[in-house]
């Protein structure tokens, strides 16, 4: 972990109210910053670093020059009223975001207390009761800030909210085990069954991830939805999907369903806003027909499946 975060405070990069994709009912999804994985197709590149950082909106830039004037690293210059950022020199001091009059440079990530987050989550408690919704922790990887995540989940349960944890499971079991005490539902990513290929595309192997999934279903009462992002040229094969289905059938108790999430390019513009090239920019989307075939394959193993987005 890049720095120590007190249990009562963490770094959040988004709170999305009225979410319907991150668990049952209407939910509030809290996105925590920081992730130990480096998935090549990641749609939230601003979630990777644990600390706050800047993200640019060039279309909003009015060329005031205030960002260049205040930058202590001289990482910002203007050429014919066009702002240029030397990302290698930027130290993320956030001073440019603080003075930008048009919000063309903004902070991605802010320090928040448990009370501040829960106050936002609690605004929609009536919707949770009517739809069996609640709070979902996502990221990044929420287990990287596990003490903060634990505090949020504990307080949400104290206030009677349904809780969900969206995780890749790449954490020590002792941490996950403690967090599960306040988790009703786990949305669990299983990106590939082959450890070597998993390592190549995400930066980490899958042994810990698969082992933790087995332990969740053997040692906790939390319900589990497995999430499989379907990524072209990575895991869009029937062979790997069959391996996943066979593995799921060996678990101590059933998962509620498998959600197939077709590859999308929603995060492409975010890479440009961070001065980076999107690695999957030339990759074609997966067709509805192919997703339909994958759905039927999973159903052939007697497993419940849906196609997300």
Q: How many CA atoms lie within 13 A of 41 on its CB side?
A: 21
> Is 85 in the same domain as 118?
no
Residue 3 placed within a domain = no
Q: What are phi and psi of 101, to 5 degrees?
A: -75, -20
CA dist 273 to 37, 60, 120, Å?
A: 20, 12, 27
Is the pTM higher than 0.85? yes
Task: Look at residues 107, 123, 146 and tell me which one is the last residue of a structural domain.
Answer: 107
What's the CATH number where 153 sits? Answer: 3.20.20.70
Per DSSP bridges, beta strands 223-230 and 185-189 are: parallel
**Number of domains comprising the chain:** 2
Among candidate residues 170, 178, 167, the one with its CA nearest the CA of residue 136: 167
Residue 95 placed within a domain = yes
Task: Look at residues 107, 129, 145 and tell me which one is the last residue of a structural domain.
Answer: 107
> Is 68 in the same domain as 212?
no
> Is 268 in the same domain as 172?
yes
> Is 78 in the same domain as 202?
no
> Is 244 in the same domain as 159?
yes
As a whole number of angstroms, the distance between CA 202 and CA 192 comes to 10
> Is 87 in the same domain as 201?
no
As a whole number of angstroms, the distance between CA 81 and CA 61 comes to 9
pLDDT tens by residue, the chain, 309 residues: 343 444 589 999 999 999 999 999 999 999 999 999 999 999 899 999 999 999 999 899 999 999 999 999 999 999 988 999 999 999 999 999 999 999 999 999 999 999 999 999 999 999 999 999 999 999 999 999 999 999 999 999 999 999 999 999 999 999 999 999 999 999 999 999 999 999 999 999 999 999 999 999 999 999 999 999 999 999 999 999 999 999 999 999 999 999 999 998 888 888 888 888 888 888 889 999 999 999 999 999 999 999 987
> Is 91 in the same domain as 149?
no
What's the CATH number where 64 sits? Answer: 3.30.70.20
What range defines the domain where residue 98 resides? 53-107
């Amino acid at each position: 972990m890049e720095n120590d975060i007190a249990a009562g405070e963490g770094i959040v990069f988004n709170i999305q109210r009225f979410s319907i994709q991150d668990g049952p009912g209407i939910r509030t999804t809290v996105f925590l910053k920081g992730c130990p994985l480096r998935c090549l197709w990641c749609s939230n590149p601003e979630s990777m670093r644990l600390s706050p950082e800047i993200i640019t909106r060039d279309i909003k830039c009015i060329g005031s020059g205030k960002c260049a004037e205040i930058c202590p690293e001289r990482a910002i210059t203007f050429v014919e009223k066009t702002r240029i950022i030397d990302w290698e020199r930027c130290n993320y001091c956030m001073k440019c975001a603080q003075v930008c009059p048009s919000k063309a440079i903004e902070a991605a990530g802010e320090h928040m207390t448990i009370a501040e987050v829960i106050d936002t989550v609690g605004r929609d408690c009536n919707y949770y009761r009517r739809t069996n919704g609640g709070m979902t922790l996502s990221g990044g990887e929420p287990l990287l800030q596990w003490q903060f995540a634990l505090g949020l989940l504990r307080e949400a349960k104290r206030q009677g909210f349904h809780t969900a944890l969206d995780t890749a499971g790449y954490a020590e079991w002792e941490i996950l085990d403690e967090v599960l005490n306040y988790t009703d539902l786990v949305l669990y990513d299983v990106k590939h069954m082959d450890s070597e290929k998993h390592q190549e595309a995400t930066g980490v192997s899958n042994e810990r991830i698969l082992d933790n999934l087995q332990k969740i279903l053997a040692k906790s009462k939390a319900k589990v939805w497995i999430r499989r992002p379907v990524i072209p040229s990575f895991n869009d094969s029937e062979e790997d999907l069959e391996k996943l289905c066979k593995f799921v059938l060996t678990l101590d108790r059933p998962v509620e369903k498998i959600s197939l999430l077709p590859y999308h390019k929603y995060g492409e513009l975010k890479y440009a806003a961070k001065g980076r090239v999107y690695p999957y920019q030339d990759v074609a989307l997966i067709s509805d027909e192919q997703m339909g075939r994958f759905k039927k394959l999973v159903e052939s193993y007697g497993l419940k499946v849906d196609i997300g987005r």
